[in-house]
Chains A and B, each alone.
Chain A
Amino acid sequence: MSEVLVFGLCAAVVAGLGLYGAIVDPRPLRKILGFNLLGSGVFLFFGVVARRGAAAGFPGDPVPQALVITGIVVAFSATALAVTLLLRFFETTGSSSLRDGAAADGARDTAES
């Protein structure tokens, strides 16, 4: 079961990468991407745990696997909502910056141009 170790460590690194991207990048869309990477690392880790539970002729424990499927769908709906919020924010303020006061600057730029 070498794949448990290989993909388990892979999941840990992906989760760390996603966390880094979500915090460091100031662009909201990149934060959403980072958050999705973080989530997918956690799902993958859960899948590795499911794989360790292989028994009774199943290649993995079906319960965590089914929960991951539900998780992926819920993550997608949350992403869709986040992206729509972001686009509406951009439309209203003229900037996607989350910095304090950036919204006012963006609105002024839009008004001037």
Chain B
Amino acid sequence: MTIVPALDLFVAGVVLVVAVWTVAVRNTSSAVVGFVAYGLLLALVWVRLGAPDVALTEAAIGSGLTGALLIGAAARLRAGESTVAAERPGVPVRLLIAALATVVAAAIAGVLLSLPDPAPTLAPEATANAGATGLGNPITNVLMAFRAMDTMLEKVVLLLAVLGIWSLSPDAAWGGRPHLPHRAEPDAALEFLARVLTPVGVVLGIAVLWVSADHPGGAFQGATILAAMWLLVLMAGLGEVPDIGRRRLRLALVVGPAVFLTIGLGGLVVSGAFLSYPQGFAKPLILAIEFAMILTVATTLGLLVAGPPVAGPPAAGSAAAGSPARRAAP
């Protein structure tokens, strides 16, 4: 049994090396690549901690989507990066900050070593009440039933983030379409990948949601796969982000929270508590919420990566100048 602790030490060591590299490396694009690698390694750690659902989320959102977002930003900010980097504080200040960071890390480590034993846990209660929903995955139970309020509010946070991003668009661009930079030259390999992988990915995304009733998976993880497929199609130049004023797009954005709220308020009438499900109807209602949610979350995640709308074809002088807004599909 010594091989498993040794592997844990090895994985933790690699995670730390990649984290140090992410902070220390000079080039921001390299740092983003380091962060993506860090996220994927962290997914391994989550599996070791007995949390495959979190591992899926970390790999898909924490590593994949965040990476896609940051790598695009790093490319656009490359101009003038070195001048800003030169504003780094001097050695004494850096040492002071390093001391502060060490104190914080030591405090967290101290808390770890002084945690109460036996650890408080809600696992027995989660098991005892699992029968009430008819779902076998305890995480889905917590997300969709026991702590459904958190999940609903998180939908609202996602929606607010999209509104915040849209509100950063120049006045003239309001109602226009976000521009996702894609390669200007025809890229047959990427286009082929987008055509072949997308149907498989869409099926996989819905499957990840479907199995989450009893196995690791869930609406977020499934939605992230769908969003990734959408972004792949956009980046291959096979489609365009719709205008943000489009009614169908807005409908897709609100259908998740709306269904969630309606069923939640229905619980108030039927069972006497907000977001409570009537006896025997929990599973179909949860599935209805999750299927409405996967559409909303996938659209939202895609729009979060796509950014604010830019006016029509990219204006001269902007970072995206020179790349045609649309390339005719063959």
Which A positions have Cβ atoms within 8 angstroms of B? 2-21, 23-27, 29-30, 32-34, 36-37, 40-41, 44-45, 47-63, 65-70, 72-81, 83-88, 90-91, 94-97, 99, 106
Contacts and interface: CB of A to CB of B under 8 A. Distances in A.
Contacts, number: 279
Interface string B136-164: 00110111001100110010011011001
Interface of B: 5, 8-9, 12, 15-16, 19-20, 22-23, 28, 31-32, 35, 38-39, 42, 45-46, 48-51, 53-54, 57-58, 61-62, 65-66, 69-70, 73-74, 76-77, 80-81, 83-85, 87-89, 94, 97-98, 100-102, 104-106, 108-109, 112, 115, 119-124, 126-127, 138-139, 141-143, 146-147, 150-151, 154, 157-158, 160-161, 164-165, 168, 218, 220, 301, 304-305, 307-308, 318
A109 B127 CA distance: 63
Contact of A80 (B35, B142, B161): B161
B45 A44 contact: yes
Nearest to A68: B54
Nearest to B151: A70
Contact of A65 (B65, B139, B318): B139
A91 B33 CA distance: 24
Given A10-B12, A20-B97, A84-B168, A77 B157 contact: yes
Contacts of B120: 53
A53 B12 contact: no
Contacts of B160: 77
A83 B126 contact: no
